[in-house]
Structure 1
Amino acid sequence: MRSIWKGAISFGLVTIPVKLYSATEQKDVSFHQVHREDGGRIRYKRVCTVDGEEVPYADIAKGYELAGGEIVVLTDEDFEGLPLSTSRRIDVLQFTPAEQIDPIYFAKSYYLEPDAQGAKPYMLLRDALESSGQVAVVKVALRQRESLATLRVRDGVFVLETMYWPDEIRTPDFGFLDEDIEVRAQELKMAESLISTMASGFDASEYHDTYREALQQVIEAKVAGKEVVPAREEEEAGPAVDLMAALRASVEAAKREREGAPAKPKRAASGKAKADDKAQEEEKAPAKRKARKSA
């Protein structure tokens, strides 16, 4: 890994020099836009919408659009007076239990490695933080943006997780929240039973990106000149008509899957269907007794 930032954790009067690394990477298959005829790469030019001329990168500035469509052009001097920290410090503001921070605030994760002579104070703060069961709330400036963040310990290493500011979290405003929808106690109990049946310890290695793997196979087949066979489309399940029956069937299927037995689809019979079956059995019973008497 290559460090993308150098700075220091400021903890009281203690300063811990650190290097910062991206803790995650996306494995998406990347594509280029190309000319269908000859595979040539498509290039884009920076063209001014006023005079139609191509603009060199050195002449490009930042512009803020007003409500009426007017543009306010900002220069480098305008940004120099802003209160953005350039000291490259990770300032510890407070310590708090991790469960008090909603995961929706977390944006991106980074690893911190001790730099220079910072190994001992790094390990000291790491061990103290891990034994406390809390996380450190910090403030840091990365890539021309100041962010709140948390410091926690994972596999013996500090993880810096940048956070969104409170006004960047959207409030859910959906119509169904104002509707008076009744959930029956039996349905709730069956749903809880389904959750209990499917509950297990989380192991991320059990899951993988099937779409990316299939796409990679398509690319490899193209390279090898093989025939590409389209993937079969799975039938989409419709909404459950009988919620209780669907929950009950889901619980039974989850139990079979956990026990290792092959899951067999079982259609839940409605009350009318059960009554019809009972009536048919009662009609057959006299006929059977009459047949025995004749014999």
Structure 2
Amino acid sequence: MSHMIWKGAISFGLVHVPVQLYPATQSEKVGFNLLDKRSIDPIGYRQINKRTGKEVTRENIVRGFEYEKDKYVVLSDDEIRSANPESTQTVDILAFVEAPEISFLYLDTPYFLAPDRKGEKVYALLREALKASGKIGVANVVLHNKQHLAALIPVGPVLALNTLRWSEEVRDFNELKLPSEDPKKAGVTARELDMAKKLIDDMSDSWNPSTYHDTFRDDIMTLVDRKIRAGKTEAITDVETPRESRQSAEILDLSDLLKRSLGRGKNKAGGRSQAVQDDDDPEEPATPRRRKTATAKRANGANGTRGAGARSAATRKDAPARKRSAA
């Protein structure tokens, strides 16, 4: 169980919901310690006085607000908390808004809120009212001596509090050079748009977070386990030349790339795709070279098994012709 990091109340109107705040996430990233390669001793983190270059102990570190260049007002944690004690103990709801109105760009850090001091009933009331309305609360909250804008969101049986970025923290995308939102002005044809929508539909699936994994972390842990089993816990070993990274395709014909993608989109996502036939390019007749090209086109539009069979059949059919030619 994660540790409680804050306790207070959700406030909306005259209603107060006593709650406790818990982290909603945990880091599963690969973490590395810095070591002295000569002795494998850990290298620690030192807090240094930038003027003298000397190390400063934790008890001598305070918070300071720079009001002029190199001039500070020093504030203790108690002084910061006493400046506005109500704000530091309250999730103060400012408004309720439709959930889709808040862009993903503004989402920052999620937390769980649990009821406190026999506040289960009013907690459940707020949770169910939010579910029924389809809205989420926008609130102010002070965490770690910093005020945050936050979204109060019902997630199944729990109320989640997701801190939000302030508007000044989200950059304006108008600074970027972007194609026109008018498809025609952006050079997108109706046929290409239709194929792209079909590809999206072909790759669509329900959201299941357990389907996705941090494959980099998995590979690192596999490497660590292998070195432990081999007794190479301290030595740096030679590594094989890494596989050449896959280069981005040069887009010569967007329509052709979309057609080829349609046949393999669902295979990549979930393996349930049917072959997509290309009715726009009629098969050309006869010669072995033409026949082999047409067969390969059909194979590219099919799933893996059918494509392999088509290539195999083409090989068997062309083999006698090649033998007679050689003779």
Say if 1:236 and 1:116 are closer, same or farther in 2 by CA, change over 3 A. Answer: same
Partner letter of residue 37 of structure 1?
Answer: R
Say if 1:256 and 1:213 are closer, same or farther in 2 by CA, change over 3 A. Answer: closer
Deviations 1:32-55 (A, max 9, x none): 110011111112433333333333
- Residue 220 (structure 1) aligned with residue 225 (structure 2): yes
Say if 1:88 and 1:202 are closer, same or farther in 2 by CA, change over 3 A. Answer: same
| Structure 1 residue matching 2:41: 3-state secondary structure | coil
- For residues 1-295 of structure 1, the aligned pairs below 5 Å read 1-57=2-58, 58-59=60-61, 61-62=63-64, 64=66, 70-76=69-75, 80=80, 85-172=86-173, 173-177=175-179, 181-225=186-230, 232-233=243-244, 235-254=246-265, 260=272
Say if 1:27 and 1:59 are closer, same or farther in 2 by CA, change over 3 A. Answer: closer
Partner letter of residue 175 of structure 1?
Answer: K
Deviations 1:189-237 (A, max 9, x none): 2212211221222221211111111111111112112688756455334
Q: Distance in 1 between matches of 2:61 and 2:261?
A: 62
Partner letter of residue 169 of structure 2?
Answer: E
Q: Distance in 1 between matches of 2:203 and 2:224?
A: 36
Say if 1:255 and 1:35 are closer, same or farther in 2 by CA, change over 3 A. Answer: closer
Deviations 1:53-91 (A, max 9, x none): 33334155536497xxx4232311797596685440111
More displaced stretch, 183-192 vs 101-110: 183-192
Partner letter of residue 64 of structure 2?
Answer: K
Q: Sequence identity of aligned pairs in percent?
A: 31
More displaced stretch, 125-134 vs 38-47: 38-47
Say if 1:168 and 1:235 are closer, same or farther in 2 by CA, change over 3 A. Answer: closer
Q: Distance in 2 between matches of 1:261 and 1:101?
A: 34
Say if 1:174 and 1:8 are closer, same or farther in 2 by CA, change over 3 A. Answer: same
Shift of 1:126: 1.2
More displaced stretch, 172-181 vs 205-214: 172-181
- Aligned residue-pair number: 273
Q: Distance in 1 between matches of 2:26 and 2:271?
A: 36
Q: Distance in 1 between matches of 2:40 and 2:6?
A: 37
1:291 maps to which residue?
Answer: none
Shift of 1:253: 1.8
| Structure 1 residue matching 2:125: 3-state secondary structure | helix
Q: Distance in 2 between matches of 1:83 and 1:119?
A: 27
Q: Distance in 2 between matches of 1:232 and 1:169?
A: 37
Q: Say if 2:47 and 2:55, in contact at 8 Å, map to a contact too.
A: yes
Say if 1:260 and 1:195 are closer, same or farther in 2 by CA, change over 3 A. Answer: closer
Q: Say if 1:84 and 1:144, in contact at 8 Å, map to a contact too.
A: no
Partner letter of residue 93 of structure 2?
Answer: V
- Under a length normalisation based on structure 1, what TM-score does the superposition of the two structures give? 0.79
CA RMSD of aligned residues (A): 3.7
Say if 1:72 and 1:120 are closer, same or farther in 2 by CA, change over 3 A. Answer: same
Superposed structure 1 runs of 4+ greater than 6 Å apart: 226-229
Partner letter of residue 161 of structure 2?
Answer: L
Deviations 1:248-276 (A, max 9, x none): 1001222555664799xxxxx999xx79x
More displaced stretch, 41-50 vs 99-108: 41-50
Partner letter of residue 74 of structure 1?
Answer: V
